[in-house]
Amino acid sequence: MDWKEILRRRLATPSTSPNKKKSEQELKDEEMDLFTKYYSEWKGGRKNTNEFYKTIPRFYYRNLWFLLDKHQTPPMIGEEAMINYENFLKVGEKAGPKCKQFFTAKVFAKLLHTDSYGRISIMQFFNYVMRKVWLHQTRIGLSLYDVAGQGYLRESDLENYILELIPTLPQLDGLEKSFYSFYVCTAVRKFFFFLDPLRTGKIKIQDILACSFLDDLLELRDEELSKESQETNWFSAPSALRVYGQYLNLDKDHNGMLSKEELSRYGTATMTNVFLDRVFQECLTYDGEMDYKTYLDFVLALENRKEPAALQYIFKLLDIENKGYLNVFSLNYFFRDEIFDMVKPKDPLKISLQDLINSNQGDTVTTILIDLNGFWTYENREALVANDNENSTDLDDT
């Protein structure tokens, strides 16, 4: 018996306990738990992908799924149930006005791939609807913090949203309340670093919904989130504590700020002096020292050097004449003309930000220019490859 049949029977069977009659809310909670349990197991135990269903009205996850399942069109593809356009429209008629917007030819065509019978996957369609409903509800939730009512969230608005979200995220249960303000600052900074490149101090709600950051944040609802997932998730408690811990370790005089000398010990302590000079010339500082928020921008840029927003941050530091491009003088200031051969810019005498992005060498170029280890590794790349080959040969001989 598959999970769908088990769920049908459990939901159809009333409580038989003579001593305690369950309330309507308890029945709804049990139904949600059953659905999540069996649906998650059927998908291979990927519980975190279904966490947002808990916030979706019961109509969608129960009625819609059973209607789709009842109208599936054989044959199945492995364990994947399919549905053709005719049955798709029938379900649309029975599902009622709440779901009418999803049962269109456009949606069907979007999900139609290579099935020889002209069908779509029921699971893919169901996930599509759930995602749309979740986005709609999340947009409403974010809009409650839009004080100006113009479709944007200011930094303080997003801070309030995340602060009130913390108690709903089991993976953050262990955070001390005294750390909340630093956690919120860490989380909000990622949104603004990547979604507010012009530093306007506000972000479109639709941009927040379109990016993956909110998914990463809400992934922390999963009580069984793996250690590996937490380590790679910027919003997890271990990640936030790591970043803040690094900041505290760099702050040798314990004044809550970082001087140029203190920041020079960041990472492997191999950043060039000229690059550090540019950081403190261009970034917001207070009496020549960097606060935690400015430090977060610095970390996000260096840890995501393949991203356009990170390259924009570093490009500004490398553009010492503030011309909007890197010329021979700018690059000689950091390195030498060899950079031009790597980037191959449209203009042979200058490199624009777009040239850097288009070259797919942005992370390598910026690493060479700002990090002594990066410079040394690039300079000695042929010797390193030869050494690796020799080591490999030695191992083969043993």
Contact between 3 and 38 under an 8 Å Cβ cutoff? The reply is yes
Asked, as a colleague might, if the bond just before 75 is cis with ω within 30 of 0, I would say: yes
**Alpha carbon distance 222, 229 (integer Å):** 11
Q: Which residue shows structure tokens 């819609």? A: 64
pLDDT at residue number 398: 53
Element (H, E) at 289: none
**Alpha carbon distance 256, 229 (integer Å):** 30
Q: Which two tokens stand for residue 28?
A: 């709804």
359 has pLDDT over 60:
yes
b/e code 334-373 from CB counts within 10 Å (16+ = b): bbeeebbebbebeeeebbbbebbbeeebbbbbbbbbbbee
Rounded to two decimals, the pTM is 0.70
Output the CA–CA distances (angstroms, integers) from residue 190 to 148, 219, 284, 326, in the order listed: 22, 16, 17, 27
pLDDT at residue number 23: 65
Q: Beta 82-83 vs 202-204: how paired, if at all?
A: unpaired
pLDDT at residue number 44: 46
Higher-pLDDT residue of 340, 249 = 249
The DSSP output letter for 179 is: G
pLDDT in tens, 15-36: 445 455 556 666 556 555 555 5
> Which percentage of the chain shows pLDDT scores above 70?
77
Per-residue pLDDT band at 380 (split at 50, 70, 90): low
pLDDT in tens, 114-173: 899 999 999 999 989 888 888 888 899 999 999 989 999 999 999 999 999 999 999 999
Length of the chain: 398
Least confident of 79-93, 259-273, 336-350: 336-350
pLDDT at residue number 42: 46
